Structures are given as C-alpha cells and as structure tokens.
Amino acid sequence: MSHKVLVVEDEPFVRMVAVDVVEQAGFEAVEAGNADEALELLEKVPDIRLLFTDIDMPGSMNGLRLAAAVHDRWTQIQIIVVSGKQRPSKTEIPDRGVFFSKPYDLARLCRTMQDMLAA
C-alpha cells in the first residue's frame, strides 16, 4: 500500500501538476482546494502521511497556518510548503518541514517526498 499525500492548492492546474508529482514519486494523492477542505479530509482519512500545501490560498487560513495546525495536531504527518510568491523564514515552517519555491525542481521534490516518507 502506498502512502497518502494531501495536496492543498487552490489553482486547479497547479494542483493537477502537484498530484502528478506525488504519483510519480510513488504515492497516492488526496486533493483539497483550500485549508478548510484539507482539515476535513485529515479528519476523515486517517492514513495521510504528508501534507503538500501552497501558502497563498483563499479561506480561513493560508498554507503556513495550515502547516502549523497540522504539525500541532497530527505530529506524524510530514510537511512540504510551496509558494511562487513568498519565501517564508525558517521559523514560519514547522519543525522537520521543507519549503520549495515554484516552479519546483521536480526530481528534487520527488526525492524529498520519498526521503520524508521512508522514515
């Protein structure tokens, strides 16, 4: 059984690309369009192992706040935060979390996911 990765991205085309990356890395993608949808999925799908979230999203919280909430509540979930507009400081990314700028280096992103989920 492959690990589940929750992809949170409000832009449908960019979300589609991220889902392809997750699947190329050998994992099952679960999709959400914003943080509220993501939190609902985390409640319902118990075996999500990695959160892959964009920072800039509409809704009640952005990707950094979502990452912090997930880190606090689901400590076993690994976190990758991405953005094409912002470069968060190290203190804004949860412990053990990783930041990628858009456009992604696809090979590096795949390797990072595989490394994070191999642990």
The residues spanned by each domain of the chain are: 4-118
H helix intervals, the chain? 12-24, 35-44, 63-73, 106-118
CATH number, domain 4-118, options 3.40.50.2300, 3.90.1150.10, 1.10.8.60, 3.40.50.150 = 3.40.50.2300
Do residues 102 and 82 touch, judged by C-beta distance below 8 A? yes
User: Which has the minimum average pLDDT: 10-14, 38-42, 65-69, 104-108?
Assistant: 104-108
Do residues 54 and 63 touch, judged by C-beta distance below 8 A? yes
Instruction: Note the pLDDT of residue 2.
Output: 81
Q: Can you tell me the mean pLDDT for 7-25?
A: 94
Q: How far apart are CA 74 and CA 19, in angstroms?
A: 22
Residues of the chain with pLDDT > 90: what percent? 84
Q: What is the pLDDT of residues 108-119, one digit of tens each?
A: 999 999 999 996
